[in-house]
Amino acid sequence: MSLPHPLLSVEGLVRHFGGLTAVDGLSFALSAGEIVGLLGPNGSGKTTALNMISGYLPPSGGAIRLGGEPIGGLRPDRIGHKGVARTFQLVRALPSLTVAENVLAALAFRRERLWGEAGRAEAEALLAQVGLGGRGDQPATSLTYIDLKRMELARALASAPRLLLLDEWLAGLNPTELRAGIGLISGLRDRGTTVLLVEHVMDAVRALCDRCIVMNAGRKIADGPTADVLAHPAVITAYLGGEHA
């Protein structure tokens, strides 16, 4: 019996920016249906890794495979069509469009595209799922911060991704909003969507992630069940600094 391919596998991923090596030989794998946290102090290379998986940055070296198929270095629209969707560290709404059109933008250009009445109906349904039901006709710029995040999640889900990359999607929310946000993401577990989330909010990481990968200075320093990883001495040192830990 041959082992099935992991949904995402990253092997020896490297990215240089001039003389700086932001990601330095990163390897890990995600199985289908997992929700995994990608942690690490600021500047440890988490977002750079995410950017290479989504196609925003080409890797300097290493391999990225989705369902066994190499995707490293492809254009973001190609990678999107293969089933990777993402949100951005700073919310990126499409400001001249309405809320529904923001979601329609994902539906209209995904692989099995939806357009016209069917697209509008699906956009409305996705907005209802994230708690923005009936607000599709509002301009996107009129939304509050949490609602922009909801809209961005609906847009990412509209691409019908196999793998969803969330870049600090829960950052900057107040406690009530955070609870709502955690609820939304744990709801993805039931859809079977695989999620890789870069996150600093530890309560959210504990509540959502079965497993965590921790990076420091471009390398992976820990990978395992969330509780174990967060208690790992190397992780505590990385977060708090060597001398004072």
Q: SS3 of 214, please?
A: strand
By beta-carbon proximity to another protein, the closer residue of 44 and 102 is 102
If binding means CB under 8 A, how many residues of this protein chain bind another protein? Answer: 29
Question: What single string gives the DSSP state of each residue in 128-181?
Answer: HHTT-TT-TTSBGGGS-HHHHHHHHHHHHHHT--SEEEEESTTTT--HHHHHHH
**CB nearer another protein, residue 53 or residue 221:** 53
Q: Candidates 14-22, 35-43, 91-99, 196-204 — which segment interacts with another protein by CB under 8 A?
A: 91-99
**Binding status of residue 218 toward another protein by CB under 8 A:** no
- Find out whether 204 and 181 touch, Cβ atoms under 8 Å: yes
Based on the shown chain and the rule CB under 8 A, indicate whether residue 48 belongs to the binding site for another protein: no
Q: According to the binding rule CB under 8 A, does residue 86 interact with another protein?
A: yes
Q: H or E segment at 221? A: strand 219-225
Q: Smallest gap, in angstroms, from Cβ of residue 244 to another protein?
A: 38
CB 13 → another protein: shortest distance, Å?
19
* CB-nearer residue toward another protein: 81 or 232: 81
Stretch of 30-38, 60-68, 102-110, 199-207 contacting another protein, by CB under 8 A: 102-110
* Contact of 8 with 66, CB cutoff 8 Å: yes
Residue 99 or 182: which CB sits closer to another protein? 99
User: Would you count residue 117 as binding another protein (CB under 8 A)?
Assistant: no
Rule CB under 8 A: is residue 80 a binding residue for another protein? yes
In the complex, minimum distance from the CB of residue 221 to another protein, in angstroms, rounded to a whole number:
29
Is 88 one of the binding residues for another protein (CB under 8 A)?
Answer: yes
DSSP annotation of 6 reads P
Of 29, 32, 97, 180, the one binding another protein by CB under 8 A: 97
Could you say which of 61, 92, 142, 240 contacts another protein (CB under 8 A)?
Answer: 92
Residue 81 contacts another protein per CB under 8 A? yes
- The CA distance from 76 to 60, in Å, is 16
Q: Which H or E run contains 237?
A: helix 233-240
Give the span between the Cα atoms of 190 and 108, in whole angstroms. Answer: 25
Q: What's the rounded Cα separation, in Å, for the pair 56 and 60?
A: 13
Provide CB contacts within 8 A for 171, sequence distance 6+: 89, 199, 200, 201
Query: Residue 205: CA atoms inside 13 Å, Cβ hemisphere, count?
Result: 25
Asked whether position 239 contacts another protein by CB under 8 A, the answer is no
Which residues lie near another protein (CB under 8 A)?
Answer: 54-56, 75-77, 80-81, 85-86, 88, 92, 94-97, 101, 104-106, 108-111, 113, 115, 137, 155, 159
